[in-house]
Amino acid sequence: MAVATEERVLTGQQFMNGDVACAEGALAAGCSFFAGYPITPSTEIAERLARRLPAVGGRYVQMEDELASMAAILGASWAGAKSMTATSGPGFSLMMENIGLGMMTEVPCVVVNVQRGGPSTGLPTLVSQADVMQAKWGSHGDYEPIAYSPASPQEMFDLTVKAFNAAERYRLPVFVLGDEVVGHMTERVTIPPAAEIDIVDRKRPSAPPDDGWLPYAPDDDLIPPMACAGEGYGFHITGLTHDERGYPTGDPLVHDRLVRRLSRKIQVHANEICEVEKLHTDDAEVVVIAYGATSRAARHAVLAARERGIRAGLLRLITLWPFPRGVVKELGNTARRFVVAELNLGQIAREAERYTRLPISLVNHAGGMMLPPEVILRAIMEAEA
Amino acid sequence: MSGEIVVNAHPLDDLLRADRLPHIWCPGCGLGPIMACMANAMADSAIPIDKHVVVSGIGCTGRVAGYLKVDSFHTTHGRPIPFATGLKLAKPELQVTVFSGDGDLFAIGGNHLIHAARRNVDINVICVNNFNYGMTGGQAGPTTPMGARTSTTPYGNVDPSFNLPRLAATLGAVYVARWTSLHVRQLEKSIRRAIKKEGFTFIEVLSPCPVGFGKSNNLGEGLDEMELYRTNCVVYPEADLSQADIELKHDSTIIVGDFVDIERPVYGAGGGEE
Ligand SMILES: Cc1ncc(C[n+]2csc(CCOP(=O)(O)OP(=O)(O)O)c2C)c(N)n1
Ligand code: SF4
Ligand SMILES: [Mg+2]
């Protein structure tokens, strides 16, 4: 491939928007292949990578649509590349088909969705957080996704790196669920020296190619090592239900075992995947659950409530999937109420309900604007009253 | 019938996943000989077998990927071309061939085909045209001749059909050929040429699907349709491709041959970004 003429990692203090930070995070994580189709508010990711990838020896390709983009990054991943695409709601919908193929055939790659208002074309240029459940359930069949929710340009960088690492570690397409506000907001982003960035590479077969190699025989961690095309393993990969040889089968027992493993390989590692940030939750009577851009307003609201003597706290979700259920359960033992603040009609509120008996009040908006801190503060005060 | 084993090994054993046989295809289906041509062409190519990759979509033809003993991918319906594009661009040393059906490549996947041809991505596309959706039980598709009876055109197909070589040539494919499952020598040679050729190549292979199409369209069993190919095909490489439509009737000719062999800059090779 091309010769590198620029630094892959832009170490230092940068001032950039969240989309650009995401692109830089991808490069820092070792991404060498991007396939995409332009869509607001994610386009700046593609534009940045169109310039930067060729300059660091990688490849940018603009596909004819998002069906193709998703298919292309799966193919690139099987060629051994760390690959990604970036989109927003309408494109995310089109990607669902091959996200399913990626889940079924266990392909490491990263899909960034900078959320805008939906359904359909919705609000192309304005914020929402309404694709949370689509990220969980969007493709048919059962699977367990990983989705990160960045709340700043810095996290667009950091969590994109983590998304690549999780994709490689657990072998699946991993989602970065940004939103328009975080994608377009410009802030300081600190990029560490390359040597200080944790990089995970997929597990490789421990033995050289031979006839007995089983591409879908999992190790104890439930994850099968991955060979890449052209290495001599002569594997067959199919989106049909397959056995450990990778061969299709209609056996319901094999199907059940496979689909359960695809979910369990994430569930058994939920503790190492799940991330939250807690602010003043130890003694909190009212805990606000928020994520992404909304968590920034929620933080102000919680601090304002504290100033008024209200024992409020913030639980900021950094991973949405797997849902950090353990923390919600624990806080349910010490708090008296939850307030969920989000830019949709209650997607995470509904998920939280599964893990607590405490009353949950929902403060939300369908999208198109941020929730002002005062609105969240009012919800805290009402909850506390 | 009592079977006596005459030989224990098949000449293509090294290239087929013998542990997956018997295959799922119907008696009289044209896919077997076409796959054998692909296997022979790969074996004869100058490229090591480890570097060959076969990518299929979904359908009876899509199952080819699963029987060939090379790194092979059975992807989603219509998407083998963009999948192959990702593979090839991320690892240019791979020799990537897409092997799929007419419905897969020209209905649900038509958009991908036209754009891959436009870009001139260095992949080979082999399209087995059996004039219908075989896998799902014989429905009409974009190559079904007008008037043909299928399970979804009980009164005769009213949709005009694509002329695949003409379409591929118009899109800029650097090599375009059409053969049938009867023309195994010519087909194998064409696949070898496609493998050698840099850029987007396209080979259409007409193939009997007696179960989904032949019997309901007066074409009889697989062998009868092969006989029709034998009597009605005209090898005519210089043909004006606008004349290469297929009616698939007993009194109509079918033009076959190597139609196009041109040079165009290959996608990603020496472009501005290299
Ligand atoms: C998205 C999607 N739609 C529909 C199908 C059902 N389906 C499977 S194969 C097929 C048609 C295959 O026709 P063709 O590509 O001509 O292959 P053939 O079976 O004739 O070789 C269809 C419609 C599917 N698998 N996926
Ligand atoms: S349905 Fe048609 S294409 Fe499919 S295996 Fe049978 S004969 Fe072949
Ligand atoms: Mg067909």
Query: How much is the pLDDT for B270?
Result: 58
Q: Which residues 6+ apart lie within 8 Å of A105 measured at CB?
A: A74, A237, A238, A239
Q: Does B61 touch chain A (CB under 8 A)?
A: no
Query: How much is the pLDDT for B99?
Result: 98
Query: How much is the pLDDT for B175?
Result: 98
A238-277: per-residue pLDDT in tens? 999 999 999 999 999 999 999 999 999 999 999 999 999 9
If DSSP codes are grouped into helix, strand and coil, which group holds residue A114? strand
Q: Could you identify the residue written with the tokens 């359930």?
A: A137
Residue B271 pLDDT grade (very low, low, confident, very high; cuts 50, 70, 90) = very low
Identify the DSSP state of A147: E
Q: Which of B194, B62, B89 is nearest to A63 (CA)?
A: B89
* B16 within domain boundaries: no
What is the pTM assigned to this prediction?
0.97
Query: How much is the pLDDT for A69?
Result: 99
Question: What residue of B is the nearest CA neighbor of A67?
Answer: B79
Query: How much is the pLDDT for A100?
Result: 98
- Count of CB atoms situated within 10 Å of the CB of B135: 20
Same fold, A12-196 and A276-384: yes
> With 80 as the cut, is the pLDDT of residue B1 above it?
no
Query: How much is the pLDDT for B269?
Result: 78
Contacts of B19-24 with C-beta under 8 Å, sequence gap 24+, read B19/A245, B19/A247, B20/A247, B20/B66, B20/B67, B21/B67, B23/B63, B23/B67, B24/B60, B24/B63
Cβ atoms of A348 and A342 closer than 8 Å = yes
Pocket test for ligand 1, best of B25, B135, B164 (most atoms within 8 A of CB): B135
* B1 within domain boundaries: no
Q: Which of B182, B186, B187, B189 is nearest to B230 (CA)?
A: B182
Query: Where in the sequence is the domain holding B234, given as residue range(s)?
Result: 25-261
**Residues A311-319, mean pLDDT to the nearest whole number:** 98
Q: Do B70 and A2 touch (CB under 8 A)?
A: no
Distance of CA A302 to the CA centre of its chain: 26
* B270 within domain boundaries: no
Say how many residues make up chain B: 274
Query: How much is the pLDDT for A212?
Result: 82
Identify the DSSP state of A232: S
A192-245: per-residue pLDDT in tens? 999 999 999 999 999 889 878 999 999 999 999 999 999 999 999 999 999 999
**Residues B139-166, mean pLDDT to the nearest whole number:** 98
Domain count, chain B: 1
Kindly tell me the sign of the dihedral angle through the C-alpha atoms of B208, B213, B217, B221: positive
If DSSP codes are grouped into helix, strand and coil, which group holds residue A13? strand
**Residue A292 token pair:** 């992404």
Cβ atoms of B189 and B220 closer than 8 Å = no
Question: What residue of A is the nearest CA neighbor of B113?
Answer: A64
- Measured between beta carbons, the chain A residues lying within 8 angstroms of B20 are 247
* B37 within domain boundaries: yes
Which residue has its alpha carbon closest to ligand 1 atom 3?
B77
Q: Write the CATH number of the domain with boundaries A12-196.
A: 3.40.50.970
- Count of CB atoms situated within 10 Å of the CB of B157: 21
Q: Do A230 and B50 touch (CB under 8 A)?
A: yes
Query: Where along chain A do its domains lie?
Result: 12-196, 276-384
* B208 within domain boundaries: yes
* B250 within domain boundaries: yes
* Beta-strand pair B201-206/A33-36: unpaired
> With 60 as the cut, is the pLDDT of residue B273 above it?
no
* Beta-strand pair A286-290/A109-117: unpaired
Alpha-carbon distance of A282 to B1, in angstroms, equals 80
Q: How far is the alpha carbon of B162 from chain A, nearest alpha carbon, in Å?
A: 21
Domain CATH for B138: 3.40.50.970
* B209 within domain boundaries: yes
Alpha-carbon distance of B132 to B152, in angstroms, equals 10
User: What is the per-residue DSSP string for A156-205?
Assistant: HHHHHHHHHHHHHHHTSEEEEEEEHHHHH-EEEEEE--GGGS--------
Alpha-carbon distance of A312 to A283, in angstroms, equals 8
ipTM above 0.90, yes or no: yes
Cβ atoms of A187 and A53 closer than 8 Å = no
Q: Could you identify the residue written with the tokens 């089983």?
A: A214
Q: b or e along A73-92 (b: 16 or more beta carbons within 10 Å of the residue's beta carbon)?
A: bbbbbbbbbbbbbbbbbbbb
Please name the fold of domain A276-384: Rossmann fold (3.40.50)
A20-56: per-residue pLDDT in tens? 999 999 999 999 999 999 999 999 999 999 999 999 9
Q: What type of residue is B15?
A: L
* B193 within domain boundaries: yes
